[in-house]
């Protein structure tokens, strides 16, 4: 049974696809946003009244930060390494943050075109600590399409 009319998505079930292949389930996604320039155009109407119009401009590139448990995901690690080494011909990929309902059915997609990893931070490693290790990865993209 999928979402019923009026049901909201929950924030606990989502993952990352790279070129259409699910490579990682994530702990957190932040900073995912879509922005474009606004063009303001002023003119005078036939009646001599000033008119201000606003039009959409160029969509801006963006970034998103994903947090994942430190795993052995080969595809994700390879993508990070290609990006860090500057191998942009293979590092630029189409990536998707996919939000799923409580039965793991995809219900919303944030498609990032020509995405690559620009930063990685690892969690603090501390002797005697009983917590999961995580990595925060900043993904830079040229275009965001929401489905």
pLDDT of residue 2: 63
> Is-contact 84 61, C-beta < 8 A?
no
Q: What are phi and psi of 79, to 5 degrees?
A: -65, -45
Q: Let me know the angle formed at the C-alpha of 84 by 17 and 24, rounded to the nearest 5 degrees.
A: 20
Into which CATH architecture does domain 14-146 fall? Roll (2.30)
Pick the more confident residue, 10 or 54: 54
Q: Residue 3 — very low, low, confident or very high, per pLDDT cuts 50/70/90?
A: low
Mean of per-residue pLDDT scores for the chain: 89
Residue (of 116, 123, 12) closest to 69 by Cα position? 123
Stretch 15-42: mean pLDDT: 89
């Amino acid at each position: 049974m999928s979402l019923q009319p009026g049901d909201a998505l929950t924030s606990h079930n989502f993952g990352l696809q790279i070129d259409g292949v699910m490579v990682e389930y994530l702990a957190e996604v932040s900073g995912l946003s879509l922005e474009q320039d606004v063009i303001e155009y002023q003119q005078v109407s036939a009646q001599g009244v000033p008119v201000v119009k606003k039009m959409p401009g160029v969509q801006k590139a963006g970034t998103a930060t994903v947090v994942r448990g430190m795993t052995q995901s080969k595809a994700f690690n390879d993508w990070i390494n290609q990006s860090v080494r500057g191998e942009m011909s293979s590092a630029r990929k189409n990536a998707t943050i996919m939000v799923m309902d409580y039965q793991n059915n995809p219900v919303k997609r944030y498609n990032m075109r020509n995405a690559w990893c620009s930063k990685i931070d690892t969690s603090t490693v501390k002797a005697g600590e009983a917590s999961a290790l995580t990595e925060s990865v900043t993904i830079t993209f040229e275009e965001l399409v929401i489905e």
